[in-house]
Amino acid sequence: MEYYRDWARAQLEKARGKMAWVSEKNRQRIPYTTDENGDYDDRADESRVWNRDDGLNWWTNGFWGGMMWLLYQDTKDPGYMEIARFSERKLEKCFQGFYGLHHDVGFMFQPTAVADWRLTGDGDARRMAMHAANLLAGRFNPVGRFIRAWNEVGDSDTRGWAIIDCMFNISLLYWASEESGDPRFRQIAMLHADTVQEHFIRSDGSVCHIVEFDPESGRMVRSHGGQGFGEGSSWTRGQGWALYGFANSFAHTGKREYLETARKVAAYCIANIPENGIIPVDFRQPEDVEWEDSCGACVIAGGLLELARFQPEGEREALVEPAFRILKAIAGSRADWTRDCDAIVQNCSASYHDARHHFTMVYADYFFLEALYQLSGADIRMW
Ligand code: GLY
């Protein structure tokens, strides 16, 4: 384990060096991806908080601030706090837009407002996080016992759609109960997690992306392939959301079934992680397709490391070694440590069927950094 720790600390040294200039260059932005020149874009456009689009309410807009809080925890450099607060104050404007917000308020406000409150005790951050938690709780369907994921998507009726990614968003509900003493938030989170265990996790430990329920009766209608190859496939980032999400649900609730579920998903992932540690977009994509997702890779690595915390010492290596293999592959051949690109992690894919593959995504950098901190033994708690 010492070897892994030392390796992670060496990578963090490089990451701190790169993030020092990247954060300075982009301090007035909320980035998602880089352009052909390697420069970050900006999703902080306030004029577009009314719709589900790529403006200020874009679902990944919490990760840039989250990265700043990770670096602030580590370095105590107030510059990182200032940049994180820039994101946070901007994101607050999304509450006015309302219609653009959906279950990803967890991804937006947990790494920003909750992190701020935990680290600095800022009252505005707490208020913002509570507001977001109430919006998330309001998406609960009490008959189907699931949290509705998105609002409208094209022509689809999404009133009964739940998605695996929400296993991360419910962290905000656990936090809200722990913070306020009101059990309702945790109860909703657990009812949702129970539904996910029943309907998303297959007997072999693989996971569906989307499950559709009848919003009136709560009956399961069907599953959808979502961002993966297709129905019945195994979108790798979704495996990561499930693995890390259930380990995290165990951390907040102590419910043993969640730990068992995380173990089951981990076993499936480990059996499918290639020897070279490079993760495909879908574990069941056709063999001749070479699309990768470095972001899913980092989420899976983080999930394995989170789960390892709850294993007896002798059983941790079996989880830490594959996480290390993934992170080593990213650091060695899928990371840009130069000044040519603002992002570190390369070769991400948002969705199997998108035309575009192998680009940068800010949440890949977030989860890469977080996993390096986990592996280094740092005491960080974001979720
Ligand atoms: N939450 C959507 C994604 O992982 O792309």
DSSP codes joined into one string, 196-209: HHHHTB-TTS-B-S
Q: Which two tokens stand for residue 325?
A: 């293999």
Q: What pLDDT sits at residue 52?
A: 60
Q: Give the predicted TM-score (pTM) of the model.
A: 0.97
267 pLDDT tier (thresholds 50, 70, 90): very high
165 pLDDT tier (thresholds 50, 70, 90): very high
Confirm if 162 and 147 have CB atoms less than 8 A apart. yes
Is the predicted pLDDT of residue 55 greater than 90, yes or no?
no
**DSSP tally for the chain: helices H, then strands E:** 15, 5
* Alpha-carbon gap, residue 43 to 62, rounded angstroms: 11
Is the predicted pLDDT of residue 78 greater than 80, yes or no?
yes
Share of the chain above pLDDT 70, in %: 99
Ligand 1 pocket mutation, candidates 57, 103, 165, criterion most atoms within 8 A of CB? 165
Mean pLDDT score, 287-295: 97
51 pLDDT tier (thresholds 50, 70, 90): low
Cα dihedral sign for 29, 33, 35, 38?
positive
Cα separations in angstroms, 176 against 46, 109, 126, 172: 27, 12, 9, 6
53 pLDDT tier (thresholds 50, 70, 90): low
Give the ligand 1 atom nearest the CA of 296: 4
User: Which residue's C-alpha comes closest to atom 5 of ligand 1?
Assistant: 350
Cα(76) to centroid of ligand 1, in Å? 30
Phi, psi of 158, deg, nearest 5: -105, 20
Mean pLDDT of the chain, nearest integer: 96
Is the predicted pLDDT of residue 262 greater than 70, yes or no?
yes
Give the ligand 1 atom nearest the CA of 163: 1
Contacts of 41 (CB under 8 A, 6+ apart): 29, 31, 32, 33, 34, 35
Contacts of 191 (CB under 8 A, 6+ apart): 140, 145
Mean pLDDT score, 307-336: 97
